[in-house]
Amino acid sequence: MLAATTTRHVEPDAVSTDLPVAEAYWRLRSADELPETQLLARGIGDDWLASAPPPPSDLPLPDPAAPGPWIRSAQEWLVAESERTAAALAPLPDSALSRALAQVLPTLATDGAWLQYASNPLNSHTPLASSMLRLYCHRRGTAGRLVAGLRVQLGFPDPGSWEFATHRDLQPQAFGPPILQLALAQQACVRLPELLGLTLFAAIATPDPLLEALARRLPALPAIPRVREDEVADVLLALEQAGVAADRTAVARLRSGFSAAAGLQRLTREAALRLARQDGPMARMVSLLTRKAAVAQGYHGAIGMPNGPLDALLGGSDPSAILDALAASDYVVPGDPDRSRLLAAASGPRGAMAGVFDASEIATIRAWIASLPDAIEPPSPGPPTLALPRIPAPGSVASNDRWAWDGRPLRELYNPLLHIDEHPELLPLARGLATLWLARAGVGQERPGPRGLPFARYDHAALEAWLHARHREQVAECRACASPDGAGAPSREAVIDDAVQLCPMVLIDGAWLHRTAQLGFAETPVGALLFRIWRDEVGDGAVRENHPNLHRELMQEMGIAMPAFGTAAFAGWSRLRDEAFAVPVFWLCIARFPRHFLPELLGLNLAMELSGVGGAYRRAAAALRAHGFTPTFVELHNTVDNISTGHTASAAAAIRLHLDEALALGGPEDVQRRWKRIWCGYRALVPPPGFER
């Protein structure tokens, strides 16, 4: 059962300090399976929504009660802001614009990411979740193509990497919008109005005014997305579905999310314009010295400068003092890089600093020396308006977690896990429960038998042969056990009871895959296949095609009145037996960690998609028809899960891709290790000992 061992949810980390922008961005993008990241997201949501920089003064706040006039005013603001930005860029040479363009890249790289978990097992059946899934898929598809082109053009690494987060050409303000977006993504269920506010701003502020202005000057840019009337209409529909206009508190929260997004975009734009204005040989050299000084100190003790030892200057806080000293030394010939010893030492294959500077940095040194007769003053620190809100330390999950499981019915975990956004302290329990379930499921998998490894050494052809053989067995079992016309079917009462017991599972159909939507994962070859399956399970943005809703229709046809889904009353419904919750709880646990449990998730997915094809689904359809019930749910699964082009085929393809990656990175031994983990996941569809209820 669930035991309340303490009333405290989280325990603050007393020794942590505020996080740097780069680390916060990287954690939110790449480490969202860690409980600490969930707490970081909560802290950023609390602090940034309250203290984000103000939006542009002429941008009207949204009015859900009168959206038409407001949309027109907001679009007029977008045109005016783009014109103002273009005017600010007009005096600048094209050479100064690339660094400004780079500041837009982090926001583009996370465009739509705030919606990645807006459709989830708790709400996927609702019109609102369907609308938000459509918006997510559209924005990611559009932004993904643009980011790919810009990355090539600017020479940037993958946006999910530490190298991107710490890239020397990106200002801290460039990470403001993505940090807010990624933080709110982790709280999709508890910050819905703020999420809708951010979505509304994104819909009307496309394209970003800075990107629009830069596109006029840089015709070689990839095509940028424009405001789409149907996207704005989709957002307005989502607002209507959420009932925001009728709730004053919700309107205030909507405006909070909108204002924070607009204010942070303004901050990025101001920082980029300031960077472009200051771009030049001196500014680039100041930036280079700022990056290199700390690691250079200690290597230059024997080098004297007119105003002191170079090592001492490198330990100071004023890069202009170092530049003045170098310019006055015999290492530099002002205006003549080729005669300057500094450049020879940095660029020569046997120079004293060979390998210390890359090609772009050597070009910066060359340009600075060439410009010395006309050198300008180094840039001054930015104005206070360019400051981002603080990034709170994430804290740590309390060691005495609020919840504990002692082996009693899993149904008591079902509802809290559906609402896990409200309970980050449940994450360690979810990971531990999934780990224990899988460990028990894997016991004996190498022994001969129907659930043992189907072949000793993994081979793609062997997997394909096994898959087709298993499908033929299921088809044959169906022929032997039941006739197509339903003769010998279970009683009407038994058919209804079977359908009722499936509710905890079927009403979260696809739940094991819902976090494959995450940014970065869904774009991988394996992740794309899994995310496609999740989308299909929940209707791919069409609420009428949502699989849980098809089962709801069957319940209505059977005259079954269920308690409201997602409530304690549903989890405690007396018609449901304890064992009906075992597998769904496992799904909800393993789903939170798709990276950590990826091999097991691939095996579980194959087991789920293959399990009923040709056999159980056909028997169930015949039984339903025999008693006058519509078999749409099971018939649909029998077709969409087919082993040729359906979900089973995709599940097998994902396994092959994953093991090809393992072969490339870890060799044949790693393939075999991962294959055993995959088969453990396949076996995990059947509750192991200790988890039957």
Assign 505 to helix, strand or coil: helix
Q: pLDDT tier at 486 (50, 70, 90 boundaries)?
A: low
Q: pLDDT tier at 630 (50, 70, 90 boundaries)?
A: very high
In this structure, the answer to whether residues 49 and 154 fall within a common structural domain is: yes
Q: Residue 103: which of 214, 26, 261, 256 has the closest Cα?
A: 214
Residue 471 is predicted with a pLDDT of 94
Instruction: Tell which of 374, 405, 421 closes a domain.
Output: 374
Per-residue pLDDT reduced to its tens digit, 487-506: 678 999 999 999 999 999 99
Residue 220 is predicted with a pLDDT of 85
Mean predicted confidence (pLDDT) in 181-189: 95
The two three-digit tokens of residue 356, written as one number? 């210390």
In this structure, the answer to whether residues 319 and 259 fall within a common structural domain is: no
Peptide bond into 207 cis (omega under 30): yes
Write the DSSP string, 515-534.
GGGSTTTTTSHHHHHHHHHH
Higher pLDDT, 95 or 622: 622
In this structure, the answer to whether residues 86 and 159 fall within a common structural domain is: yes
Peptide bond into 394 cis (omega under 30): no
In this structure, the answer to whether residues 39 and 121 fall within a common structural domain is: yes
Reported as type and span, the H/E element at residue 396 is: strand 396-397
In this structure, the answer to whether residues 264 and 287 fall within a common structural domain is: no
* Residue 49 lies inside a defined structural domain of this protein: yes
Residue 399 is predicted with a pLDDT of 47
- Domain enclosing residue 472, as ranges: 433-683
In this structure, the answer to whether residues 536 and 623 fall within a common structural domain is: yes
* Residue 424 lies inside a defined structural domain of this protein: no
Q: Alpha-carbon distance 586 to 419, whole Å?
A: 15
In this structure, the answer to whether residues 243 and 295 fall within a common structural domain is: no
Residue 307 is predicted with a pLDDT of 67
The helix-helix angle for 319-328 and 281-296 (nearest 10°) equals: 100
* Conformational region of residue 59, where left means phi above 0, alpha means psi within -120 to 50, and beta covers everything else: beta
Residue 346 is predicted with a pLDDT of 85
Assign 155 to helix, strand or coil: coil
In this structure, the answer to whether residues 173 and 259 fall within a common structural domain is: yes
Judge whether residue 376 has pLDDT over 60: no
Q: Rounded to whole angstroms, what are the CA distances from 461 to 465, 478, 575, 585, 653? A: 6, 26, 45, 34, 12
Per-residue pLDDT reduced to its tens digit, 87-110: 999 988 887 898 899 999 999 999
Residue 378 is predicted with a pLDDT of 47
Residue 487 is predicted with a pLDDT of 63
Burial class of residue 71, CB neighbours in 10 A (0-12, 13-18, 19+)? buried
Q: Alpha-carbon distance 640 to 539, whole Å?
A: 12
Q: Residue 379: which of 296, 455, 273, 477 has the closest Cα?
A: 273
- At 673, which CATH number? 1.20.910
Residue 562 is predicted with a pLDDT of 97
Burial class of residue 44, CB neighbours in 10 A (0-12, 13-18, 19+)? buried
Higher pLDDT, 376 or 270: 270
Q: Which residues contact 243 (CB under 8 A, 6 or more apart)?
A: 250
Length of the chain in terms of residues written:
693
Judge whether residue 479 has pLDDT over 90: no
The secondary structure of residue 405, as a DSSP letter, is: B
Amino acid at 560: I
The end-to-end CA distance of the chain, in Å, is 11
In this structure, the answer to whether residues 75 and 210 fall within a common structural domain is: yes
Q: What letters, b where the CB count within 10 A reaches 16 and e where it falls short, cover 347-357?
A: beeebebeebb
Assign 181 to helix, strand or coil: helix
Residue 337 is predicted with a pLDDT of 87
Q: Alpha-carbon distance 194 to 250, whole Å?
A: 8
Q: How many helices (H) and strands (E) does the chain have?
A: 30, 4
Per-residue pLDDT reduced to its tens digit, 252-261: 999 999 999 9
Instruction: Tell which of 251, 278, 305 closes a domain.
Output: 278
Residue 323 is predicted with a pLDDT of 79
Q: Alpha-carbon distance 133 to 136, whole Å?
A: 5
Mean predicted confidence (pLDDT) in 71-85: 94
Residue 13 is predicted with a pLDDT of 37
Residue 287 is predicted with a pLDDT of 78
Mean predicted confidence (pLDDT) in 155-169: 93
Q: pLDDT tier at 5 (50, 70, 90 boundaries)?
A: very low
Per-residue pLDDT reduced to its tens digit, 631-678: 999 999 999 999 999 999 999 999 999 999 999 999 999 999 999 999
Judge whether residue 482 has pLDDT over 60: no
Per-residue pLDDT reduced to its tens digit, 275-333: 888 777 877 787 787 788 778 777 876 777 776 777 777 777 677 777 788 888 888 89
Q: pLDDT tier at 478 (50, 70, 90 boundaries)?
A: confident
The two three-digit tokens of residue 601, written as one number? 């998730």
Judge whether residue 375 has pLDDT over 50: no
The values of phi and psi at residue 124, to 5°, are -55, -20
In this structure, the answer to whether residues 268 and 287 fall within a common structural domain is: no
The secondary structure of residue 545, as a DSSP letter, is: G
Q: pLDDT tier at 227 (50, 70, 90 boundaries)?
A: low
Is the distance from CB of 151 to CB of 105 less than 8 angstroms? Answer: yes
The secondary structure of residue 120, as a DSSP letter, is: -
Reported as type and span, the H/E element at residue 617 is: helix 616-626
* Residue 93 lies inside a defined structural domain of this protein: yes
Pairing mode, strands 396-397 and 308-309:
unpaired
Please provide the average confidence, as pLDDT, over all residues in the chain. 88
Q: pLDDT tier at 558 (50, 70, 90 boundaries)?
A: very high
Q: Residue 234: which of 356, 382, 118, 350 has the closest Cα?
A: 118
* Residue 4 lies inside a defined structural domain of this protein: no
* Residue 427 lies inside a defined structural domain of this protein: no
Residue 435 is predicted with a pLDDT of 96
Q: Which residues contact 574 (CB under 8 A, 6 or more apart)?
A: none
Least confident of 346-350, 373-377, 383-387, 609-613: 373-377
Per-residue pLDDT reduced to its tens digit, 384-407: 457 899 898 887 665 444 556 667
* Residue 21 lies inside a defined structural domain of this protein: yes
Instruction: Tell which of 323, 345, 374 closes a domain.
Output: 374
Residue 208 is predicted with a pLDDT of 92
The secondary structure of residue 10, as a DSSP letter, is: E
Q: Tally the domains of the chain.
A: 3
Residue 4 is predicted with a pLDDT of 32
In this structure, the answer to whether residues 166 and 113 fall within a common structural domain is: yes
Amino acid at 68: G
* Residue 101 lies inside a defined structural domain of this protein: yes
* Residue 339 lies inside a defined structural domain of this protein: yes
Higher pLDDT, 422 or 242: 242
Q: Alpha-carbon distance 656 to 53, whole Å?
A: 48
Q: Rounded to whole angstroms, what are the CA distances from 492 to 278, 497, 625? A: 78, 9, 11
Q: Which residues contact 360 (CB under 8 A, 6 or more apart)?
A: none
Mean predicted confidence (pLDDT) in 455-481: 90
Judge whether residue 538 has pLDDT over 80: yes
Mean predicted confidence (pLDDT) in 159-174: 93
Q: Alpha-carbon distance 364 to 279, whole Å?
A: 11
Is the distance from CB of 524 to CB of 658 less than 8 angstroms? Answer: no
Would you say the C-alpha torsion 618, 623, 624, 628 has a positive or negative sign?
Answer: positive
Q: Alpha-carbon distance 675 to 656, whole Å?
A: 10
Highest mean pLDDT among 31-45, 230-244, 465-479, 572-586: 572-586
Residue 345 is predicted with a pLDDT of 86
In this structure, the answer to whether residues 617 and 527 fall within a common structural domain is: yes
